[in-house]
Amino acid sequence: MSGFMVFKLPSFKILILFMTGIFMGKYLGGQAYAYWVTGFGLVSLGISLLLYRLGKKPAFNILIALSLTFLLMGYYHIRQIKPSNHLSQKNEVFVAFYGKVISYPKLKTKKSRFSHCKKQLLETPFQRQEYLIEAKEVQLRSGEIKTVTGTILVKSKSLGRKLVQQIEAESFERFVLKKLSKDSAHRIVLNCYQKDSKQRYYKLKHGLKYDAVHKLHEVIESIGDGSPLLYKEIEMGDWVTIQSKARSIQGIKPCPQFDYREYLSHAGIDYISYPNSSAWITLAEVSHLNGIEKWAKNSREHLIGLYNRWLPDQERDLIKGLILGAKEGLSEETLESFQRSGISHILAVSGLHVALIGAYLYFWGYSGFPRNIYSSLSV
Amino acid sequence: MFYSGAIVVVLDRDRHYLNALFLSGIIILFYDPLSLFTLGFQLSFLATLGILLYFTRFNDCLLNFLKYKELRESVLPLRLNLILSWLVRRMISLLALTLTAQILIGPLLVYHFGGYSLISIVSNIFIVVLAQGAVALALFIALVSFSNYLIDIYSASLLAILKSLIGLSDYLSHLPFAYINFGEIGGWIFWIYYPLLLAVLHFKGILSWLGHEIMIYQKGLS
């Protein structure tokens, strides 16, 4: 089919129609696309009913399915629209964030700096301490005055090579946070990085989902600043509490080439924070991963261990980038030469990897086993 | 895209991959409409569209241009000739693949990154093959990790591939005019580039479509 004939494909027409709707929704302001989808669903429903009345059953069947999908998607997106709240009006707030680390903490500096950083973390004096939250009167968001007391015992212990610090005593804070964790799916997207080579302490950049900020605002108001300061190697699956100043993304100036505000908003992040050394990071619960997550984590660690053992530095970092998409180990020169030669895309985990695994399965089909099984597995 | 393609294959429809692409576009945008404005979606969608639309055409054009057919009639021994033919065919198809992907995503890259890698057309032919080999070998090493002897053999080959990948990329990136900096470019580039591309690639199609429309109009008048 020639390229010009593409315009005649019905799927292309639907796609263009849908894209137009999204553009309209975006530039009409707010979350209009959600209402556009719903509107489109309603129109399709009307047309399908008309077709039913005219006796065109096959067309009716297709359109009714389409309209129901549109309506469901509209409903889904309308539900995603966030209610206005006093937090979103403020540019900067001091809050506690509680959530699960869902992405691998990434370090944007070289490996040597990481190990230096890690060493410092291990030397942290917070090995075993008891913190007492004195009877304290705090005003809740609802206006109610509440007295808060509690004790938190912090103990660190070594599990294998890693230092794991755990809060052992059932504290008031932990009780509240645990309860909160059951009520909603909080999410923290967390990246660890070192700001520059001179600063030795560990820094965190974290983006938070709106609901986590919203619900935990009350917690920090009731607890005040009684949490202990803890450092550990943060891992995927850990539940952490971070207390720091958060800045609303509304304050970020849009840039024509890359709109960071839009990017964060698209990722479901409403606040960003760049805690300084006084930011408080508390490990609430050590990683509780489900079976698949655990398998993925172990496989990743197994692969990294394997390449660490058998390959020299530069090549090892490159293969990690190729296989796992982990670019942080690559030197700036290598990254720049990849960008200049237009091959940066090979560092992204993409369909190529899926295709290779599929190809393995497909070719094993020749070894006597029923090929249909392997073909369907590879698909 | 992958799943839509798989559905098309499994259902054994007429395997119109353009439909699969558009279907996957619709599904992705249904799920998350704002992904339309993400660079990842734009690049992957346009690159795939370019490949599906123009790959065969570019491949044939390049084969004709390089007079590939003459190679088959050469005086070389048959087996060598076959290997050479396969290699040339593979290289040409890789070149056509890169060209067709780049032709649609070029202005996007210029707009977002303020520059364009000219050498990418050449580098993708060699480096993507090397990267594919490296990924396949690295995954294979994970499979044979029970034997140190096997790992030793395969990791030596992997190391050679990775070293040549880094070396080649470094060499190509330092060639003159490898990367052209355009600076900050406005959205006007899309309004000029895409209509122009459409006009150049589909000149005959547009003419015949216009002729057809005019004919219908004239018939209506008479």
How close does chain A come to B86, measured CA to CA in Å?
20
What is the C-alpha to C-alpha distance for residues B139 and A191, in angstroms, rounded to an integer?
27
Residues A71 and A213 in one domain: no
Q: How confident is the model at residue A246 (pLDDT cuts 50, 70, 90)?
A: low
Using the predicted structure, report yes or no on whether residue A146 has a pLDDT greater than 60. no
Residues A223 and A136 in one domain: yes
Please give the sequence-ordered ranges of beta strands (E in DSSP) within A83-201, or none if there are none. Answer: 92-101, 128-139, 145-159, 162-167, 187-193
pLDDT value of position A242: 61
Q: A353 CB near a chain B CB, below 8 Å?
A: yes
Of the listed ranges A243-252, A290-299, B198-207, the least confidently predicted one is A243-252
Q: Which of B119, B132, B162 sits opposite A341 (nearest CB)?
A: B119
**Of the candidates B46, B50, B189, B34, the residue with the CA atom closest to the CA atom of residue B113:** B189
Please give the sequence-ordered ranges of beta strands (E in DSSP) within chain B, or none if there are none. Answer: 115-117, 179-181
Q: How confident is the model at residue A108 (pLDDT cuts 50, 70, 90)?
A: very low
Q: Which of B31, B121, B145 sits opposite A306 (nearest CB)?
A: B145
**Of the candidates A233, A236, A231, A247, the residue with the CA atom closest to the CA atom of residue A281:** A231
Q: How confident is the model at residue A34 (pLDDT cuts 50, 70, 90)?
A: confident
pLDDT value of position B164: 92
Question: From its phi and psi, is residue A128 left (phi > 0), alpha (psi between -120 and 50) or beta?
Answer: beta
Contacts of A290 (CB under 8 A, 6+ apart): none
Each residue's pLDDT tens digit, B1-51: 555 555 555 554 555 778 888 888 888 887 777 788 888 888 888 988 888
What is the C-alpha to C-alpha distance for residues A96 and A245, in angstroms, rounded to an integer?
9
Contact B159 A315 (CB under 8 A): yes
Q: How confident is the model at residue A369 (pLDDT cuts 50, 70, 90)?
A: low
Contacts of A284 (CB under 8 A, 6+ apart): A98, A167, A174, A177, A178, A181, A239, A240, A241
pLDDT value of position B161: 92
How many alpha carbons lie under 13 Å from residue A378 in its C-beta half-sphere? 19
Each residue's pLDDT tens digit, B174-193: 888 888 888 777 778 888 99
Choose from B4, B8, B10, B22 for mutation: most chain A CBs within 10 A. B22
Rounded to the nearest 10 degrees, what angle do helices A313-324 and B120-143 cross at? 90
Chain center to CA of B24: 18
Of the listed ranges A53-67, A215-229, B41-55, B60-74, the least confidently predicted one is A215-229
CB < 8 Å from B in window 249-268 of A: 256-258, 262-263, 266
Choose from A9, A37, A343, A360 for mutation: most chain B CBs within 10 A. A343
Percentage of chain A lying above the pLDDT 70 cut: 34
Which residues in chain B have their CB less than 8 angstroms from residue A360's CB?
A: 139
Query: Mean pLDDT over all residues of chain A?
Result: 59
Phi, psi of A283, rounded to the nearest 5 degrees = -80, 120
| A104-119 per-residue burial string, b: 16 or more CB within 10 A, e: under 16 | bbebebbeebbeebee
Contact B18 A319 (CB under 8 A): no
Query: Mean pLDDT over all residues of chain B?
Result: 80
Contacts of A96 (CB under 8 A, 6+ apart): A216, A219, A220, A223, A227, A241, A242, A243
Q: What is the mean pLDDT of residues A3-18?
A: 73
Residues A42 and A168 in one domain: no
Question: Which amino acid, residue B206?
Answer: I
In the structure encoding, which two tokens stand for residue A248, read together?
């609303």
How close does chain B come to A301, measured CA to CA in Å?
12
Q: How confident is the model at residue A84 (pLDDT cuts 50, 70, 90)?
A: very low
pLDDT value of position A253: 72
Residues A75 and A158 in one domain: no
Residues A43 and A106 in one domain: no
Residues A373 and A360 in one domain: yes
Residues A29 and A113 in one domain: no
Each residue's pLDDT tens digit, A300-343: 888 888 888 888 888 888 888 888 877 767 787 888 888 888 88
What is the C-alpha to C-alpha distance for residues B142 and A300, in angstroms, rounded to an integer?
11
Residues A192 and A336 in one domain: no
DSSP A82: P
In the structure encoding, which two tokens stand for residue A139, read together?
């005003």
What is the C-alpha to C-alpha distance for residues B33 and B153, in angstroms, rounded to an integer?
48
What is the C-alpha to C-alpha distance for residues A26 and B158, in angstroms, rounded to an integer?
47
Of A50, A80, A110, which one is at a domain's C-terminal end? A80
Which residues in chain A have their CB less than 8 angstroms from residue B198's CB?
A: 3
Each residue's pLDDT tens digit, A352-362: 666 666 666 66
- Pick the residue from chain A with its C-alpha nearest to B19: A11
Which residues in chain B have their CB less than 8 angstroms from residue A18's CB?
A: 26, 29-30
Residues A112 and A230 in one domain: yes
Contacts of A308 (CB under 8 A, 6+ apart): A316
Using the predicted structure, report yes or no on whether residue A159 has a pLDDT greater than 50. no
**Of the candidates B56, B121, B67, B129, the residue with the CA atom closest to the CA atom of residue B93:** B56
Residues A233 and A326 in one domain: no
In the structure encoding, which two tokens stand for residue A158, read together?
């070594």
Each residue's pLDDT tens digit, A247-298: 667 777 766 556 777 776 666 566 666 544 444 555 555 666 677 877 887 8
**Of the candidates A223, A212, A218, A225, the residue with the CA atom closest to the CA atom of residue A279:** A225
Each residue's pLDDT tens digit, B122-139: 888 888 888 888 888 888
- The larger pLDDT score, comparing residue B151 to residue A28, is at B151
Of the listed ranges A92-101, A132-141, B189-198, the least confidently predicted one is A132-141
Give the residue numbers spanning the domain of A181. Answer: 86-288
Q: A19 CB near a chain B CB, below 8 Å?
A: yes
Each residue's pLDDT tens digit, B74-118: 666 677 777 877 888 888 888 888 889 888 888 888 888 888 888
Residues A106 and A241 in one domain: yes
Of A266, A288, A310, which one is at a domain's C-terminal end? A288
Contact A354 B172 (CB under 8 A): no
Residues A300 and A278 in one domain: no
Of the listed ranges A29-38, A208-217, A276-285, B119-128, the least confidently predicted one is A208-217
What is the number of domains present in chain A?
A: 3
Using the predicted structure, report yes or no on whether residue A239 has a pLDDT greater than 80. no
pLDDT value of position A227: 37
How close does chain A come to B64, measured CA to CA in Å?
19
What is the C-alpha to C-alpha distance for residues A327 and B23, in angstroms, rounded to an integer?
32
Pairing of strands A280-285, B115-117: unpaired
Burial class, A196, CB count within 10 angstroms (exposed 0-12 / middle 13-18 / buried 19+): exposed
Each residue's pLDDT tens digit, B155-166: 888 899 999 998
3-state SS track over A213-264: HHHHHHHHHHHCCCCCCCCCCCCCCCEEEEEEEEEEHHHCCCCCCCCHHHHH
- The larger pLDDT score, comparing residue B220 to residue A214, is at B220
* ipTM (interface pTM): 0.78
Of A54, A80, A106, which one is at a domain's C-terminal end? A80
